[in-house]
Amino acid sequence: MKEFFTSGWRNFKKASIVTKLLAFLGIVIYLFIILITFIKVDYEIITPGSINYTASSVKVEAENETGFIYTVGVYTHTRISVVQYWLAKNNETFDIQVYDPTVDLDDEAQRKFGTISKEISINNAIINAYQEAAKIDATIVLSKEYKGAIVSAITPYAKTGLDYSDIVIKVNDQSFTNIDEFRMLVTDFYDANPTKDIKFTVIRADLEKEVYASFITDDSGYVSLGIAFYDYYKLDSEQSTPKFTIVDPYSSIGASGGGMLSLSVYNALLPGDITQGKRIVGTGTIEIDGNIGNIAGVKQKIITANNYDIDIFFINEINYEEAKAEYDRIGATFELVKINNFADIITYLQEMEVSNHE
């Protein structure tokens, strides 16, 4: 190896000036390409993704149709390279956003947040599906138990002893029965003790612990803990009718497929096919009360849906105008339906079924 480099150096010294200049220029270009490929910048890009079959996540033990119901996802790349940034700037199907490491979650934290969000999304989807189906068939029963408020995200600026997946069961020794009561306890404590740390009793790895968190005030004067929480219910399939199995909860992560997963479970709980064989996609989180939440990556999700043979796309009212703008730009032909909650989806499909039989 030493002889190889020694010989190369001798040949280089004997080369003409032009050859040396070209070699030097080649080395500079090579180093430049390496630098722009590996140097990261504080941006993230969102690109079109794929659709995922919802029935592969939750199996209901009933002999009913599940329908062709899909969630639609995008790909997010955080702290991209200079090359990726340049390419994204010239691609109208991509979105570029500033990434602030002092505020935004890094890749590992995003993965944890996405995993917990998906778990809660599946729980909420099952709860809403069983509740709506029970209005039609009273023998349908879901066994569930409220456990507390689960920690789903912790910002870089948070000052806390809380950890991901901690389940908060008390706020300053006071119990609560839902996330609204939890938030009220936190707010009341801050109003009375704005400079003190707040105490949480949590379940961590099946053990009860007491931890503290500080209130943070940002530059705009907004006060928060810098932590996100969800209602957490423990579902009992064995005590439910019919039983169900969560098959593959983490084939994708994030909560934006909750509405469509709930529709898939609902369809499997009841005889017939409320979708009438239509290929349906949608996007939006689902809350415990059935509300469909807004999401990011709307443009990319419309583009993704248009790449498949889709009939209906359900979208939250907050995201509808952005979705419609992209829908019109690309000339999509599926039905774009604006909804606010899970009941709106059921109503739309029921009315579609009646219309098809008239």
334-351 confidence digits (pLDDT tens): 999 999 999 999 999 999
Domain finish residue from 241, 260, 275: 241
Convert the pLDDT of each residue in 164-194 to its tens digit.
999 999 999 999 999 999 999 999 999 999 9
Contact of 250 with 116, CB cutoff 8 Å? no
Tell whether 52 is covered by a domain: yes
Q: What is the pLDDT of residue 295?
A: 83
CATH of the domain at 174: 2.30.42.10
Of 211, 241, 271, the domain-final residue: 241
What number of residues does the chain have? 358
Residues 199-229 as b/e (b if ≥16 CB within 10 A, e otherwise) read ebbbbeeeeeeebebebbeeeeeeeebbbbb
CATH number of the domain that residue 275 is part of: 3.30.230
Let me know whether 263 and 296 are in one domain.
yes
Whole-Å CA distances, 71 to 184, 249, 354: 33, 13, 25
Number of domains in the chain: 2
151 with 136, same domain? no
Identify whether 21 is part of a domain.
no
Which residue type sits at 157?
Y
Are residues 347 and 255 both part of a single domain? yes
Domain span at 157: 142-241
pTM equals 0.83
| Domain end call among 185, 210, 241 | 241
Residue-wise pLDDT for 62-106, tens only, equals 888 888 999 888 888 777 777 777 777 788 888 888 877 777 888
What Rg value do the Cα atoms of the chain yield, rounded?
Answer: 26
Within a 10 A sphere around the Cβ of 196, how many other Cβ atoms? 13
Helix, strand or coil, per DSSP, at residue 269: helix
